[in-house]
Amino acid sequence: PILQHGGSVIYGSADDIVDYIEATFRDPPLLLEGSAGMDRTCPAVASLCLLQHRSILFHVEKVVKISEELAATKVNSSTISPVKAGLAMKIKKLSSEYLRLVELMQEHAQMEERTMFPVLENADKGLTELVHADHARDLPIMNGIREDLKSVLALQQGSCVHNEALVALATRLKVFQVLLGDHFDEEERDILPLLETVGFGSKQQDAAIESCVIIMEAAHGRLLPYLLQGMPAHEMYQYLRIVQKPFQDP
Q: Is the pLDDT of residue 183 over 80?
A: yes
Question: Which residues neighbour 198 within 8 Å (Cβ) at sequence distance 6 or greater?
Answer: 119, 120, 122, 123
- Residue 187 — pLDDT band, cuts 50, 70, 90? very high
Q: Based on the structure, what is the number of domains in the chain? A: 1
The answer to the question of residue 25 being in a domain is: no
The answer to the question of residue 2 being in a domain is: no
Sign of CA dihedral 164, 170, 173, 178: negative
- In the chain, the largest separation of any two C-alpha atoms, in whole Å, equals 70
Instruction: State how far the Cα of 52 lies from the Cα of 49, in Å rounded to an integer.
Output: 5
The answer to the question of residue 60 being in a domain is: yes
The answer to the question of residue 157 being in a domain is: yes
Query: What confidence tens digit (pLDDT) does each residue in 200-242 have?
Result: 666 677 888 999 999 999 999 999 999 999 998 888 988 998 9
Q: Is the pLDDT of residue 37 over 50?
A: no
Query: What confidence tens digit (pLDDT) does each residue in 114-151 have?
Result: 998 888 888 777 878 888 899 999 999 999 999 999 99
Query: What confidence tens digit (pLDDT) does each residue in 59-88 have?
Result: 999 999 999 999 998 776 666 677 677 788
CATH classification of the domain holding 77: 1.20.120
Instruction: State how far the Cα of 139 lies from the Cα of 242, in Å rounded to an integer.
Output: 28
In which domain, by residue range, is 216 found?
31-247
Highest mean pLDDT (candidates 42-46, 155-159, 179-183): 179-183
The answer to the question of residue 8 being in a domain is: no
The answer to the question of residue 133 being in a domain is: yes
Q: Is the pLDDT of residue 21 over 90?
A: no
Burial 79-115 (b: 16+ CB within 10 A, else e): eeeeeeeebeeebeebbebbebbbbbbbbbbebbeeb
Encoded amino acid at 60, one letter: V
Task: Please tell me which residue, 177 or 190, carries the higher pLDDT value.
Answer: 177
Task: Please tell me which residue, 199 or 126, carries the higher pLDDT value.
Answer: 126
The answer to the question of residue 56 being in a domain is: yes
Instruction: State how far the Cα of 190 lies from the Cα of 129, in Å rounded to an integer.
Output: 12
The answer to the question of residue 6 being in a domain is: no
Query: What was the pLDDT predicted at 171?
Result: 96
- What share of the chain has pLDDT > 70, as a percent? 78
